[in-house]
Structure 1
Amino acid sequence: MNKASPGAEMNDVTLKLDKIAKAYNVGKPNEVKVLHDVSLQVGQGEVVALVAPSGAGKSTLLHIAGLLDTPDTGTVSIGGEDFTNLGDRKRTAARRNDVGFIYQFHHLLPEFSALENIVLPQLANGIAQSDAEAHGMDLLARVGVADRASHRPAALSGGEQQRVAFCRAQANRPKLLLADEPTGNLDPATSDRVFGALMDLVRASGLSALIATHNLELAARMDRAVRLDQGRLSEGMTE
């Protein structure tokens, strides 16, 4: 297992969240405090399970980690660089280059094929089309759906759609993968197979990953687990 200890050197840490706090409707009667003093490190090549009940703040935490939202207090560093107070342009560039996102629903572009969904983010990042297509086919082959490359999302099964979404998230070779219940829409048997494909792809790429899941069996297959409950983070899957 690849574990980042609290004292790990910064260059061994892909994601560092330090004393993150977040609230909504601040100063109003309906103020909601979502995160309280959350600190977390994800080491290079480490896969961490984020176990949390509904409403615990996991989506907010993932959005802050992925630079889609900003904390009220605390800092967010990716690859040793503090992005907390940087401008929108640099944060957008980091999301495009350094972070891959996977959601419960695949969000593939319906008018494009599986391969085209993986090629497009690479083209937007300045990659030549031939190179983008070759990389896309390699990713599809790794998750076992290369033979579905020309099919549009509507012609794919739910498991195939999510595998393509995994490939798209890794198209630009990010440092960090963030996933929010990536197999939550699938039946148990399909979920197990698709999660295995995701883990194989992550391991082969040497990615660091923070994966939110309700499934304790899936969480146990990762390097370690942290639990978020009532806005507070602790090690392990149970209190």
Structure 2
Amino acid sequence: MSDPTPGAAPETNSETAPGPAALELTDVERVYSQGLAEEVRVLHGASLRIAAGEVVALVAPSGSGKSTLLHIAGLLDRADGGAVRIAGTETAGLSDGRRTAIRRRDVGFVYQFHHLLREFSAAENVALPMRAAGASRRAADARAAELLEAVGLSPRASHRPAELSGGEQQRVAICRALVNRPRLLLADEPTGNLDPGTSEMVFELLAGLARTEGLGALVATHNLELAARMDRVLRLDGGRVVAG
């Protein structure tokens, strides 16, 4: 696959292309000011398209704008220009409240560190975002149980994070990210804090669940072996997204 022209979204597998994209960035710009006169252009015409059911790697060195791109894609930060569409909804002109509602409903996040609440059990951690979105306790508990079973953690559902291994904690974090049935999953170095064997297992679960749930996933990683096993590999070059 050849690199796309500047401003054009990279090609998407034809099998996953029909219908609204889980995520679409078009000519996204992000500039940070340093001091009174100096500006740092982190993203410059960044474009990409993630289809439903597609797991895409984002490979970029530290300081290249990877986290900035993920924050903009997840509506945690606003772009200075360009378009950000999640499941077909343009988000640029929306209020903070509307952006929060879309982020809560349509976007799941997985980070390098699990950020589980230590006073809650695994099941309670998974159910919490669904309860926060207004679901009943019964519905949230049932969904949490379904996801924990899918990742082999049903016997550990009542355990608190301190009683779980690193890999188990990250599996719980993945379940939490998926509990509201988002359209888009954003993962920032989700296996970066794990040993190679556990990284492999966690990645397989993440990718498998993403495809089973029918959502699009953008996974930032430094692990080139894992990246090569995803549907596509993208990288950041000069603030633009190009094929890896």
Q: Is the TM-score greater than 0.5?
A: yes
Aligned-pair identity in percent equals 61
CA distance in 2, matches of 1:26, 1:74: 22
* Structure 2 gap segments, 5+ residues each: 1-10
* Structure 1 gap segments, 5+ residues each: none
Please state if 1:199 is matched with 2:207: yes
Shift of 1:154: 0.7
Find the counterpart in structure 1 of residue 134 from structure 2: 126
* Equivalent residue letter for 1:145: L
- Cα deviation code 1:172-197 (max 9, x no counterpart): 00000000000000011110111111
- Cα deviation code 1:102-136 (max 9, x no counterpart): 11000011110000001111111111111111110
Find the counterpart in structure 1 of residue 186 from structure 2: 178
Find the counterpart in structure 1 of residue 68 from structure 2: 60
Shift of 1:26: 6.6
What does residue range 95-134 of structure 1 map to in structure 2 within 5 Å? 95-134=103-142
CA distance in 2, matches of 1:187, 1:88: 38
CA distance in 2, matches of 1:99, 1:214: 22
Residues 37 and 26 of structure 1: CA distance in aligned 2, closer, same or farther (over 3 Å):
farther
Local SS of the residue matching 2:84: strand
Could you tell me whether the CA contact under 8 Å between 1:4 and 1:12 is conserved in 2? Answer: no
CA distance in 2, matches of 1:108, 1:230: 35
Find the counterpart in structure 2 of residue 223 from structure 1: 231
Find the counterpart in structure 2 of residue 151 from structure 1: 159
CA distance in 2, matches of 1:44, 1:204: 11
Find the counterpart in structure 1 of residue 6 from structure 2: none
CA distance in 2, matches of 1:208, 1:226: 14
**After alignment, is 222-231 or 108-117 more displaced?**
222-231
What does residue range 209-220 of structure 1 map to in structure 2 within 5 Å? 209-220=217-228
CA distance in 2, matches of 1:197, 1:148: 17
Local SS of the residue matching 1:31: strand
Please state if 1:45 is matched with 2:48: no
Local SS of the residue matching 1:197: helix
Task: Give RMSD over aligned pairs.
Answer: 1.6
Residues 27 and 38 of structure 1: CA distance in aligned 2, closer, same or farther (over 3 Å):
farther
Could you tell me whether the CA contact under 8 Å between 2:55 and 2:218 is conserved in 1? Answer: yes
In the alignment of these two chains, the number of paired residues is 232
Find the counterpart in structure 1 of residue 7 from structure 2: none
Please state if 1:93 is matched with 2:101: yes
Find the counterpart in structure 2 of residue 3 from structure 1: 12
Local SS of the residue matching 1:226: strand
Could you tell me whether the CA contact under 8 Å between 2:12 and 2:49 is conserved in 1? Answer: no
CA distance in 2, matches of 1:164, 1:14: 23
